[in-house]
Structure 1
Amino acid sequence: MIELKNIHKSYASRDKVVEALAGVSLDIAQGEIFGIIGRSGAGKSTLIRMLNLLERPTSGSVLLHGQDITKISEAALRTLRHKIGMVFQHFNLLTSRTVLQNVAFPLRLAGMDKQARTERALALLELVGLQDHAYKYPRQLSGGQQQRVGIARALANEPELLLCDEATSALDPETTQSILNLVLDINRRFGITVVLITHSMDVIRSVCDRVAIIDNGRIAESGEVVEVFLHPQHATTLSLLSESGVDADGWKELIEGVPGRIVRLTYRGHSTARPLLSQASRDLDVNLSILQGQSAKSRIRPMGSWCWLWMPILRAMSHWRHFFGIIRSITRY
């Protein structure tokens, strides 16, 4: 659906040129939830704003359904943006208008008559669970409720693409999860492609199909969320995972000077719930110590992310081959 080809974006200041994006290439499939994660200043907000050309690239192409939208007219771009909804970090609601009027505002700009836009806005408020708050003002709502209004407004013109720019970073954890569940429901119900940026790996794990890690204006790595969590390749990815509780080095001081062998086991899918380690221990007649590990759920399926094990030195290489044979047989889908 979306393809970014060698995107560069530079900003000129008085004494230097700052390169916010440096040759970014990505593809986003129709109907998926795609996450973009990075630290402050990494370029993620600039990148997501390329998708509706709120920011224009210095060079490179932005393709939507195969069409390079950097080359279309301003009139065609305004029409295109009706099919791209955007949800903002700080809600950006019109404080002098009611919740209903906020949701109906894009429809008014699109020229829809008052009765039709009111009916559409009320239906969207029901979708996001705010039908009883239609005639309140934003100041009368909680942060989570205001973001639900923002989501309803973004859906007003029946978009095929929903952009979420740090949509949960101003919310508490419980409210964040409720908003993420709503985004998941919208994606499943309507097949809308969702692109979200965040600084939280937990957000990525909860809702995304695929993820790109951006660092200093470049894509450090990308792929399916499960693969990136299980087999991180870049230092930035490891650091972000560590901040969410996945510390790949935390076990080292536990086994310093202790003889034995360390095994890193990763597993996913329904094998997460199977008694893998107890079976291996029984078959090998050896005790296993779990030094560190984490199990989690990735979007809609279980994901046993990783586990560090300590094992005494086995008596023969055949035991190692048998151990890894057990692992392979149990961890298949």
Structure 2
Amino acid sequence: MIDLENIRKTYESAGRAVNALVDVNLNIREGEVFGIIGRSGAGKSTLIRMLNLLERPTEGSVRVDGRDITAFSDAQLREYRRSVGMVFQHFNLLRSRTVMDNVCFPLRLSGLPRADREARAREVLNLVGLADQAHKYPGQLSGGQQQRVGIARALASKPRLLLCDEATSALDPETTQSILRLLGDINQRLGLTIVLITHGMDVIRAVCDRVAVIEGGRIVEAGQVLEVFLHPRHDATRALLSESGLDGGEGWRALAQGVPGRLLRLSFRGDSTASPLLSRLSRDLGLDLSILQGSVGRIKDTPYGQLVVAAQGTAAGLDALVPALDAAGVDYEVLRP
């Protein structure tokens, strides 16, 4: 659906050029939830604003359905932007207007008759679970409810693309999870393409299909969320995983010093996560297996697990271990022969 090709964004600051984005190439598929993660200042907000040309690239093209939107006339760009909704970190609601008026606002700007826009507003408020809050003001709502109003407003014009600019970073953890569940539900029910930026790997894990990691204005890693989580290739990705506690850290190294035998990192996905593989290998191969570190969870709808294991036993049993893992379809990395 979306192709960013050789994107560069340069600003002038204190008389010198500063590169906010450098040689960014990215594709986003129709109907997926795509996450962009990075630390503050990495360039992720600039990148997401390229998708509706709130920021224009200094170089490169932004193609949507094969058309370069950077070449659009003003009229074409206005028409395109009606197909793009945006959800902001701090809600950006009109404080002096009711919930109904806030949701109707973009529809009024597009010239839709009042009866039609109010009917559409009731429809999307029901979708986000706020049908009974239509006549309240933003100040009367919780932060999570205000963000739901922001989502309803973004959905009012029936967009094909929803951009979420740190949509959960101003919310507490419980409310964050409820908003992420809502976005996942919207994606499934409406087939809406969602692009979100965040600095939290837990947000990516909960709702995204694919992810791009941005560091210093460059995309340093991209792929399926499960693959990026289990097999990070770049230091920036590993650091983000470590900071979020999702990789378990390197605590196993100290334990391993006092445990002899072969060390392996095993990665499970899908139904294999719950299989009794370790007990079967221990029994069949005559091995003693010690778990030095492990995590089990879900990435979106897929179970996953990753364990660091020490294996002790006979030479024959250890030699048979890797072929047995291959036969079981388990990804592994030998950390110590």
Into which bin does the TM-score normalised by the smaller protein fall?
over 0.9
Tell me, what secondary structure is at the counterpart of 2:51? coil
- The aligned residue for residue 180 of structure 1 is 180
- The aligned residue for residue 327 of structure 1 is 325
TM-score by length of 2: 0.96
- The aligned residue for residue 334 of structure 2 is none
Alpha-carbon distance, 1:16 to partner: 1.8
Alpha-carbon distance, 1:81 to partner: 0.3
Alpha-carbon distance, 1:332 to partner: 6.1
Q: Deviations over 1:81-125 (max 9, x none)?
A: 000000000000000100000001010011000011001101111
Q: Deviations over 1:162-187 (max 9, x none)?
A: 00000000111110010001001100
Stretches of structure 2 that go unaligned for 5 or more consecutive residues are 332-337
Q: Could you tell me the percent identity over the aligned residues?
A: 61
Question: Could you tell which deviates more after superposition, 284-293 or 161-170?
Answer: 284-293
- The aligned residue for residue 195 of structure 2 is 195
- The aligned residue for residue 297 of structure 1 is 298
Distance 2:219 2:248 in 1: 22
| 1:1-333 alignment, distance < 5 Å | 1-245=1-245, 246-304=247-305, 306-312=306-312, 314-316=313-315, 318-331=316-329
> What one-letter code is carried by the residue in structure 2 that aligns with 1:327?
L
> What one-letter code is carried by the residue in structure 1 that aligns with 2:146?
Q
Tell me, what secondary structure is at the counterpart of 2:287? coil
Distance 1:219 1:320 in 2: 40
TM-score by length of 1: 0.97
Q: Deviations over 1:52-104 (max 9, x none)?
A: 00000000000000000000101110110000000000000000100000001
Alpha-carbon distance, 1:215 to partner: 0.3
Cα-Cα RMSD? 1.3
Question: Could you tell which deviates more after superposition, 80-89 or 293-302?
Answer: 293-302
Distance 1:138 1:273 in 2: 45
Alpha-carbon distance, 1:329 to partner: 2.9
Stretches of structure 1 that go unaligned for 5 or more consecutive residues are none
Distance 1:250 1:235 in 2: 18
Distance 1:295 1:328 in 2: 21
Q: Contact 1:268–1:331 (CA<8 Å) still a contact in 2? A: no
Q: Deviations over 1:166-209 (max 9, x none)?
A: 00001111100100010011000010000000001111011110
Aligned residues: 330
Alpha-carbon distance, 1:151 to partner: 0.3
Tell me, what secondary structure is at the counterpart of 2:268? coil
Distance 1:113 1:26 in 2: 39
Tell me, what secondary structure is at the counterpart of 2:169? coil
Q: Deviations over 1:213-254 (max 9, x none)?
A: 000000110000010011000001001111121134221111
Alpha-carbon distance, 1:293 to partner: 1.0
Alpha-carbon distance, 1:324 to partner: 2.0
Alpha-carbon distance, 1:308 to partner: 0.4
